[in-house]
Structure 1
Amino acid sequence: MRIMPALFCMYFLNKLDQNALANAKLNSLEKDLKLKGTQYNTAISILYVGYLFMQIPSNMLLSSRKVRPSVYMAVTMMLWAVVAAVTGAVRNYAGLVLVRFFLGTLEAPFYPGALYILSSFYTRKEIATRVSILYAGNIIAVAFAGLIAAATFSTLDGAHGLAGWRWLFIIEGVVTFVVAFVTIFLLPDYPNNTRWLTAEERELAHGRILRDTVGREDSKGVRAGLIEALKDPRLYLFALMQNMHLNATSFNQFFPSVVKALGYTPVITLVLTSPPTLFAGAFGILIGWSSGRFNERTWHVTGCMGAAMIGFIINCFTLNIAARYIACFLFASGVYSCNSVILGWVSATLGQTPEKKAISLSLINVVSMASFIYTPYLYSNTDAPKYVTAMSANACFSFLSIACAWGMKVWLFRMNKELKQQNPANAVFYAY
């Protein structure tokens, strides 16, 4: 009852702070900072440069057991809260780029670290549901970000001489700092040393993960875990699959601009961003539960990304308000719900040692998150309102993600066949 609420709230605020810039654009941010051309797109992209830089070292540190995850995760959250609040004080493009880079650097440890914590406490059949609940924090943040921004802009714009977008960053930064302090007492450390578990519960938590691991090996240290991860060819297909999937989620940073094409006022536009993302959050939890319940991955990826592909194609070909809004539901639900399935699949397949699991998750996250550096440039202001270039690219990315899933299915099917031949008594096999 402690792990999921704490991680959910942390991820909610993580994404709220990240995505505040997308909503600030609908206020006076570009005018106040005198942004021109692709400078806004660069401000979006630069966050992920810092984000990618820190992910692998952070998870290597966590898996080395040299830090307490509960303290480490909470302190990094406090630091990014300060940077998020400081964004409200920037005066020019250079300052915006600088704070966005440091925000990405400080937010980077959270998501791969959260995945590592979940994979340390939950089995293969449980992990997808938990990751989907965690990821719902991201989705609900996108949904409520518009509502929070709308309320802030309508009530505080101009208060004490500050624009509404500046108040947005300040308020969200302060709330994040307070929550970060509380999470120190809620987050676990490792299964065998979490302070709020009894000795019996620690032994149970540690033992059940060991029994659930395919091809389990003894821990050999962080460096060996890095080498083992890099030598496993499945890592690269998973990385490509997740990269294609996250390429297709690139609309996230521009969702208010996409919805703006419906022709409503900025405040109504922000409100209209909420229903598709709230629906996507609920649908994502259902998909995560279904994937774990039936121990199936490939058809879940196919169905979700297939629905997203249809939504992107609709967006390319029509300006009809009803059709475009339905398309928003399709592509938002499709791409968001797929995330837990893929990452749960990675955790269950590449988890022979704790170090390999942690590093594999962070490596795949780094490769996939690289998409957020270049995909913002697909959304040119001159391409509005259909954003044909971006939406057609997203449809292609969705298709390639499906192709990768089927390639992995065939690969793991053959590996399971070999495992059965080597040991007919073996009862633990790869899921696909």
Structure 2
Amino acid sequence: MAQPGSSHPLLDAVRNGASGTELQEIDLPTRFRAAFTRKDEVGIFEGQTDKDVRRSLHVDEVEMPELAPDECVVAVMSAAINFNTVWSAIFEPVPTFAFLEKFGRQGWYGARHDLPYHILGSDGSGVVVRTGEGVRNWKVGDKVVLSPFFVDEEDHGSYDDGMMSESQLAWGFETNFGSLGEYCIVKANQLIRKPKHLTWEEAGSNILCAATAYRMLVGSHGARMKQGDVVLIWGATGGLGSYATQLVRNGGGIPVAVVSSAEKAEIVRSQGCEHIIDRSQLNLGEEGLRHPKAGRVLGEAIRSLVGEDPGIVFEYLGRETFGASVYVAKRGGKIVTCGSSTGYRHEYDNRFLWMRLKSIIGSHGFNYHEAVEINRLISLGMVHPTLSKVYDLDEAGEATRAVQTNQHVGKVAVLCGATGEGQGVDDPAMRERIGEDNLNRFRR
């Protein structure tokens, strides 16, 4: 087992800013440290109410896999925890080893992924240290952030929209070799230029949530928000909601943020959101937002703030909130959903959907173009990171536990190759113009 803080000449060279030529001349290590789950531990949480991910997430050495022609090896400087890391670590709704086994049946390319361990992580930043022989547009030494959607460019569906490809997968969740390690393996069409004014941990914590929110609200496949739209945002200080609030404001919409405490309300207010509902102050009774009359109470609160019902409801909480979301949307309004973190089986009164001509839009992930577009906004300083806390790789279990138990706001990062916070900034002048208050709002 590698000791915490141990290194390899290649990783040291990346940390020291070596050129691409210098990196190419250093041998790739045969093993590296990463955070992973183990196939022989599937089932350890059966019958337990507290499925503590610190029991199932391990940090140890793993084998460096063979590189395919369309892939790159990236030295990961920082990764981020998303809720799919929690699902992987509790082996629900299905153990992710089932995904790896299925992928493994697709020949050599997929068989590399079918291992007795699963390296997790779907967000990250780092430096390209090897490219496959078929990679044309990227080179060793490039500083990148990573898009988590793994799309087969030979699948015809990907040419309409990458998310319509039947073979698309969530990297680090439905594939192996994710970002929670000193190195990761990605396809070349997962690479995006790193924003120069951000640190490694800031840059590596954005894409999954920010691009998901972009597709839901702004892209041509979601709600297609326009100026003046009132948008109800559930969980406005969460990973998704924290970017949704920024996108609505930037696009001329009117965000109505739902939070669960006065402290979280203050964070949203500091983002420039004027209209905030603290759901802990709503008189909803024991059933909470699932009570049949909860939608009426919430609707009155929204109208008291903005004078009308929301045209768009930004949904990802699922069972607890979905009935209220359908109710409060205005006639002809849209409920755009990308998840169900409180439960997959939703109940709502269908009369309020069909008789008022509302629409439910299913939105999953994002395509490569949408990932590049949101990263452009981040690179321009128009959208800011929402990072709140940073852990070391050895603390990957603790970081995931913080997300599992909702003891966080915004995003949580894990330093993998970076030796400390604050590294990786290439444009300090731009950073100064944007201001540390904007970049560190969720860390105050």
Q: TM-score range by the shorter chain?
A: under 0.3
- Scaled by the length of structure 2, what TM-score is found? 0.26
The answer to which structure has the higher helix fraction is: 1
- Scaled by the length of structure 1, what TM-score is found? 0.26
Structure ranking higher on relative contact order (CA contacts 8 Å, 6+ apart): 1
The answer to which structure has the higher strand fraction is: 2
